[in-house]
Amino acid sequence: MKTEDDIFISLVIPTRGLFRLELLKKCVHSFFSKAKWGNFLEAIIVTDLDDVDYRREIEAYFLENQYNVKLITRRRDLRYFNRDYMNYATQCSQGSMIWALNDDTEMETSGYDEIIHNTVSQFMRVNEYRNIYILTDDSTHTTEDRNIIYDKGCCFPLISRLAAEKINGLFPQEINIWGADIALFKIFQGVPNSIIDLSKEIKLAHHSHHNGSREKDETSESGYKHTNRSSLTDQENMKYIRPLWSK
């Protein structure tokens, strides 16, 4: 059930660590300031219950501006990160499109929301299915020496609400942290006419050790440390593909 019908894009952003506050500010500001229709955008920020000082700073920052945000606090348990953070936040979202982001991402394309809106509108005029996955340039899977976006997908997938409802979230919950973005792309590769390529039109800056633009920090390290598995079995993959074949 949705309480707001006019939200076009929901940004799902988990964050942890006071040292990432400036990254989060830059992330949220870039998406709202570069949107043509910022009033049709929402950001869902997910924090940890034990990250008290950081949460206080986040609240203070959002009191200073008019961004449409929801703050969700979860008891930290990285064994189920994608289920309890990304998928839970998705279930609390209102947007027609849902974007999985990190706090270290920054939007570089002005009017990106209009590009997405026009592309999705055109797509729906000629396709009977509404299960959509959008590729954008994430600056990590799209580097000159490591262009793997068409093999691994986007680090920050953008999918339609209908698709999210059919898979009950953003990511397959069997993968607790790293690897879920790649697994999601492989799921949509099994669904005809579901992937829209906007990697030439929309660019994100990913401030991360993955592309050498920033040093690895404690939050980044915890992802590697606590990842239990990073891929799905064929049977699990089909469990997600089958619902996406329906209209």
**Distance, CA of 133 to CA of 125 (rounded, Å):** 16
Tokens linked to 247: 């209209």
Pairing of strands 142-143, 69-74: unpaired
Give the SS3 label for residue 180: helix
Does the pLDDT value for residue 2 go beyond 70? no
Amino acid at 216: K
**Distance, CA of 206 to CA of 220 (rounded, Å):** 13
144 contacts 168 by C-beta, under 8 angstroms: no
When pLDDT is cut at 50, 70 and 90, the band that residue 144 belongs to is confident
**Distance, CA of 192 to CA of 69 (rounded, Å):** 34
When pLDDT is cut at 50, 70 and 90, the band that residue 246 belongs to is confident
β-pair partners for 45 = 13, 71
Q: What percent of the chain has pLDDT over 70?
A: 92
Higher pLDDT, 156 or 142: 156
pLDDT score, position 18: 94
When pLDDT is cut at 50, 70 and 90, the band that residue 215 belongs to is confident
Residue among 68, 22, 60 nearest 44 (CA): 68
Looking from the CA of 55 toward its CB, the CA atoms found within 13 Å total 15
Residues in the chain: 247
Q: For residue 187, which phi and psi values (nearest 5 degrees)?
A: -60, -50
Q: What percent of the chain has pLDDT over 90?
A: 79
Compute how many other C-beta atoms are within 10 angstroms of the C-beta atom of residue 53. 10
pLDDT score, position 223: 63
